[in-house]
Amino acid sequence: MLKIEHVSKQFGDVKALNDVSFSINNGEILGLIGQNGAGKSTTFHSILNFIKYSGKILWDGEPISEKLFDKIGYLPEERSLMPKLTIEQQIIYLARLKNKSVKEVKPQIDSWMEKFAVKGKKTDKIKDLSKGNQQKVQLICTMIHQPSLIILDEPFSGLDPVNSDLLKQSIVEAQQRGAAIIFSSHDMSNVEEVCDSLVMLRTGEVVLNGKIDEVRDQFGKTELFVTTDWTLERLQALPHVTSVTHQRGNHYFIRLENESDGPAIFDQLTDGHYIEEFSQRPPTLDEIFRMKVGEAAHE
């Protein structure tokens, strides 16, 4: 388990982190979200002991020190490969820094390149790869030593949907073998799809922390997706409806004042008859993110 307790960090007059606390269990995936400058990278750098901070950060009850670094896989936001090395040389070099032998790592390289669909041969130089393939090589370097704690800073940046799915699959596989995984992402759909829990930072402070479904449910199931032959005007006239958006055909998105208004709306729309769709849901993480950022803009 990774446990962050009351961590604060100040750079001059800027308080980058202010009393940040959260934890990640083994076999759990946590999404760290927030605007640029919210403190995500500073949190990662604190976990890795790159910077000094106040508070406590523990891995399985121990402070994170050099002897634990071999158990950690870290992908920085700024990619940092050595362009003149071949793919094989680069992977082996970084694996050896994690105390893995050439004999142990070399036979795995082909399968890892296949797993991430790296285009090229392992004898190709890093500088000759596309940016996307360079990123995939760095992901291999991050995960090939089978770390127990995996920290990924914006890992989906620059990946197309197909390659994003490959990364998600690899993250889930690491979770299934018991790794604790924390990653940051600006794409809330990645967090919603993969993560068990999330932490949202805003100007260095935790403003949301919990299981994905529990966080969403805090905001109430005030969104309705319906298929109906009612007109837009008739839907807008329903009591306790704050807005109606026509999506396509007979599909509409309705926002309610309160979650409890759903059953009455259902009764009126159906009137004892079958309708194809009536789905009442909480806001998406993307909508919640915008709400919380909007709150900050008005404070």
Position 288 in a domain: no
Q: Are 75 and 173 part of one and the same domain? A: yes
Q: Domain residues for 277? A: 223-281
Terminal Cα distance for the chain, rounded: 35
Q: Are 106 and 173 part of one and the same domain? A: yes
Q: Are 93 and 178 part of one and the same domain? A: yes
pLDDT for 224: 96
Q: Are 136 and 231 part of one and the same domain? A: no
Position 72 in a domain: yes
For the entire predicted model, the pTM comes to: 0.87
Domains contained in the chain, number? 2
Which residues share a beta bridge with 180?
A: 149
Position 88 in a domain: yes
pLDDT for 79: 75
In sequence order, what are the residues at sequence separation of 6 or more whose Cβ sits closer than 8 angstroms to the Cβ of residue 186? 33, 154, 157
Q: Are 22 and 112 part of one and the same domain? A: yes
Q: Are 129 and 247 part of one and the same domain? A: no
Q: Which two tokens stand for residue 146?
A: 């089978």
CB atoms within 10 A of CB 255: 13
Position 254 in a domain: yes
Q: Are 260 and 158 part of one and the same domain? A: no
Q: Are 90 and 134 part of one and the same domain? A: yes
Cα 201-285-244 angle, rounded to 5 deg: 135
pLDDT tens-digit profile, the chain (299 residues): 999 999 999 999 999 999 999 999 999 999 999 988 899 999 999 999 999 999 999 999 999 988 889 999 999 988 789 999 999 999 999 999 999 999 999 999 999 999 999 998 999 999 999 988 999 999 999 999 999 999 999 998 878 889 999 999 999 999 999 999 999 988 888 999 999 999 999 999 999 999 999 999 999 999 999 999 999 999 999 999 999 999 999 999 999 999 999 999 999 999 988 999 999 999 999 999 888 876 655 55
Q: How far is the C-alpha of 97 from the C-alpha of 203, rounded, in Å?
A: 34
pLDDT for 67: 83
Q: Are 130 and 42 part of one and the same domain? A: yes
> What is the per-residue burial (b if ≥16 Cβ within 10 Å, else e) of 83-101?
eebbbbebbbebbeebebe
Position 260 in a domain: yes
Read off the CATH number of the domain in which 164 is found. Answer: 3.40.50.300
